[in-house]
């Protein structure tokens, strides 16, 4: 089966930010969200299912208080 036949991946996103808190989240095919709030000096990780769109998936970053700067992240994932 080709990877494009998959509807989701298992993903883990590790994030840090230099200024202002952010929310990082993944959205599963059923609309469920896995999320974490990351603040300066307090890195975080979010793990969960992410919906696949044409062999790609999305990781969402949302600034919570103004403009976030110095966002660093790494993503690992696997197809089921």
Q: How many helices (H) and strands (E) does the chain have?
A: 0, 7
Instruction: Please name the residue that has the structure tokens 């990082």.
Output: 24
pLDDT reading at 60 higher than 60: yes
Look at residue 72 in the predicted model and tell me its pLDDT: 98
- pLDDT the model gives residue 79: 85
Picking from 76, 73, 77, the residue whose alpha carbon sits closest to that of residue 15 is: 73
Q: How many Cα neighbours within 13 Å face the side chain of 29?
A: 8
Q: Rounded to whole angstroms, how far apart are CA atoms 25 and 66?
A: 18
- The model's pTM is 0.87
List the domain boundaries for the chain: 1-48
Helix (H, G, I), strand (E, B) or coil at 14: strand
Segment 21-35 mean pLDDT: 97
54 versus 59: the higher-pLDDT residue is: 59
DSSP annotation of 18 reads S
């Amino acid at each position: 089966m080709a990877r494009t036949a998959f509807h989701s991946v298992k993903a883990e996103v590790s994030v840090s930010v230099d200024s202002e808190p952010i929310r990082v989240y993944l959205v599963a095919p059923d609309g469920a969200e896995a999320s974490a709030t990351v603040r300066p000096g307090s890195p975080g990780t979010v793990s969960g299912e992410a919906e696949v769109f044409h062999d790609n998936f999305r990781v969402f970053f949302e600034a919570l208080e103004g403009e976030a700067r110095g966002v660093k992240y790494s993503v690992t994932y696997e197809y089921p």
